[in-house]
């Protein structure tokens, strides 16, 4: 099977959008590379008294539309090209949702599962000491991503405020509520995805009666709960995590399954479920499939066996370009990641706004504003599909690239 460099995939998507929009050469060359890249080595004191050195990055892909915005990942196989790709896609997300933000991403090559809480705190603070001059609500605003969480954001905020000697809660998002976090942030990514599924079902007259979820972390669990709540029912018939997959054609009790996962750390062994290979979850005959795990899960190797009528990409980059072609030819409706998983960054923006004037919204207001943003973005993509005669992913990319390119032109960069 062909291996994929995520950044090369992202660059090809941008180049195709540039071609469709007939943008000039200078704009093309500007948009296919990050504006700023930073590489760090972080010395961190471990519990045994030794010092371990970790490699870390912060990439600011574009600030044409506003401050860079994007998460920080703690991941063993972290690489600069992966972070470049994610920063590029974050730039597209913020533009597609018409947020006054750019895109960025950061990461540390580490295995957080092998580290104690104190070691994680030491590493989190070391990252901020290295990146502090780059960060701020008017510069670059991080957030959690893979294997990071609100507690890690709290440590990072505290380290930053210690350095700058003033309160600056808006410099990082998805913090605990007690120190400037926003209501509605925990389920924002999943809620945004389910909103797009709701709109897609209306537009395509699809009944979301059955669904499956590949990846049962935070986004996958919340999507399972919200699918039933927001779409008036539906059976979750298949789910998997890193340790295995389970299937039940009669549907799972979602709340009970989530409780089991949180208690056991896996869905494997759930009572009354048929054990299946985790990759088989992608191939179930369902109305809606939520890929909510890693990039490149759907490839030319398995795309022809995917039967879902609608695919909502809660993960970043879960579908390879060749798989895209196969799925589109089969008539599957793909809600691309830069739209489907944009609920998180949207509510992060709301958190920045609330932090700026120290007045916080009730959860129902956050949900209402998120619904408004995602609904509008989905229908903007549908219009672009019809106007440009392209598939959903390229339609979303064209809308985003056009907005970033316009900002670059207005600034006199190109």
Q: What is the pLDDT along the chain (414 residues), one digit of tens a residue?
A: 456 788 999 999 999 999 999 999 999 999 999 999 999 999 999 999 999 999 999 999 999 999 999 999 999 999 999 999 999 999 999 999 999 999 999 999 999 999 999 999 999 999 999 999 999 999 999 999 989 999 999 999 999 999 999 999 999 999 999 999 999 999 999 999 999 999 999 999 889 999 999 999 989 999 999 998 999 889 999 999 989 999 999 999 999 999 999 999 999 999 999 999 989 999 999 999 999 988 788 999 999 999 999 999 999 889 998 999 999 999 999 999 999 999 999 999 999 999 999 999 999 999 999 999 999 999 999 999 999 999 999 999 999 999 999 999 999 999
* Domain of residue 310, CATH code: 3.40.50.720
Do residues 91 and 218 both lie within one domain?
no
DSSP-based three-state secondary structure for 288 = strand
Q: Looking at residue 2, what is its pLDDT? A: 58
> Which residue among 280, 309, 331 closes a domain?
331
Same domain, 200 and 241: yes
Helix spans in 1-45 (H)? 6-21, 25-31
Which of the following is catalytic: 2, 12, 93, 105? 105
Q: Are residues 196 and 73 in the same domain?
A: no
To the query of whether residue 105 is one of the catalytic residues in this protein, the response is yes
Q: Please identify, among 306, 331, 356, the residue that sits at the C-terminal boundary of a domain.
A: 331
Domain assignment present for residue 170? The answer is yes
134 shares a domain with 230: no
Q: Are residues 193 and 315 in the same domain?
A: yes
165 & 209 share domain: no
In a domain, 274, yes or no: yes
Crossing angle of helices 80-96 and 6-21, in 10° steps, is 40
Tell whether 38 and 152 lie within a shared domain: yes
Same domain, yes or no: 282 and 325: yes
CATH code assigned at 79:
3.40.50.10860
Best CA proximity match to 216, nearest among 112, 275, 150, 294 = 294
- The answer to whether residue 249 sits within a structural domain is yes
Whether 13 is in a domain gets the answer no
User: What φ, ψ does residue 157 adopt, rounded to 5°?
Assistant: -60, -45
Query: Does 323 lie in the same domain as 277?
Result: yes
Residues 121 and 205 both lie in one domain: no
Instruction: Tell me how many domains the chain contains.
Output: 2
- Residue 215, classed as helix, strand or coil, is coil
Q: Which of 131, 160, 178 is the last residue of a domain?
A: 178
Return the DSSP state at 202. H
- Residue 11 located in a structural domain: no
Range of the domain at 214: 188-331
What pLDDT sits at residue 232?
A: 87
In a domain, 121, yes or no: yes
198 inside domain? yes
pLDDT of residue 1: 47
Q: Are residues 159 and 196 in the same domain?
A: no
230 within 8 A of 375, measured Cβ to Cβ: no
Q: Are 396 and 92 in contact, with CB atoms under 8 Å apart?
A: yes
Same structural domain for residues 113 and 74? yes
Angle among Cα 190, 227, 183 to the nearest 5 degrees reads 40
Considering the domain boundaries, does residue 74 fall inside one?
Answer: yes
Angle between helices 6-21 and 392-411 (to 10 degrees): 70
Specify whether the CB–CB gap between 330 and 307 falls below 8 A. no
């Amino acid at each position: 099977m062909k291996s994929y460099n995520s950044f090369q995939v992202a660059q090809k998507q941008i180049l195709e959008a540039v071609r469709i929009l007939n943008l000039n050469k200078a704009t093309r060359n500007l948009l296919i590379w990050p504006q700023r890249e930073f590489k760090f080595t972080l010395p961190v004191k471990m519990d045994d008294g030794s010092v371990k050195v970790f490699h870390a990055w912060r990439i600011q892909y574009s600030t044409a539309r506003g401050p860079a915005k994007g998460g920080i990942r703690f991941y063993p196989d972290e690489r600069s090209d992966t972070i470049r790709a994610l920063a590029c896609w974050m730039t597209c997300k913020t533009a597609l949702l018409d947020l006054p933000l750019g895109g960025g991403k950061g990461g540390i090559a580490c295995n957080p599962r092998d580290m104690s809480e104190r070691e994680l705190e030491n590493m989190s603070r070391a990252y901020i000491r290295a990146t502090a001059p780059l960060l701020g609500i008017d510069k670059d605003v991080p957030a959690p991503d893979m294997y990071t969480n609100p507690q890690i954001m709290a440590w990072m905020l505290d380290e930053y405020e210690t350095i700058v000697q003033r309160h600056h809660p808006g410099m990082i998002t998805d913090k605990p509520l007690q120190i400037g976090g926003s209501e509605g942030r925990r389920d924002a990514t999943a809620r945004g995805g389910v909103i797009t599924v709701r709109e897609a079902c209306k537009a395509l007259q699809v009944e979301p009666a059955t669904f499956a979820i590949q990846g049962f972390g935070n986004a996958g669990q919340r999507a399972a709960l919200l699918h039933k709540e927001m779409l008036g029912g539906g059976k979750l018939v298949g789910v998997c995590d890193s340790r295995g997959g389970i299937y039940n054609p009669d549907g799972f009790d979602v709340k009970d399954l989530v409780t089991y996962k949180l208690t056991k750390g896996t869905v494997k062994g759930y009572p009354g479920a048929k054990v299946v290979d985790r990759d088989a979850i992608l191939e179930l005959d369902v109305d809606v499939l939520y890929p909510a795990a890693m990039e490149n899960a759907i490839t030319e190797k398995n795309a022809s066996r995917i039967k879902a009528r609608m695919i909502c990409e809660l993960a970043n980059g879960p579908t390879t370009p060749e798989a895209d072609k196969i799925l589109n030819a089969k008539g599957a409706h793909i809600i691309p990641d830069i739209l489907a998983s944009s609920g998180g960054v949207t509510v992060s923006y709301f958190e920045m706004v609330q932090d700026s004037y120290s007045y916080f919204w009730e959860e129902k207001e956050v949900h209402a504003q998120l619904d408004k943003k995602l609904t509008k973005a989905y229908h903007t993509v549908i219009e672009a599909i019809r106007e440009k005669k392209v598939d959903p992913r390229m339609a979303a990319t064209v809308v985003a690239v056009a907005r970033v390119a316009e900002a670059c032109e207005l600034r006199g960069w190109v």
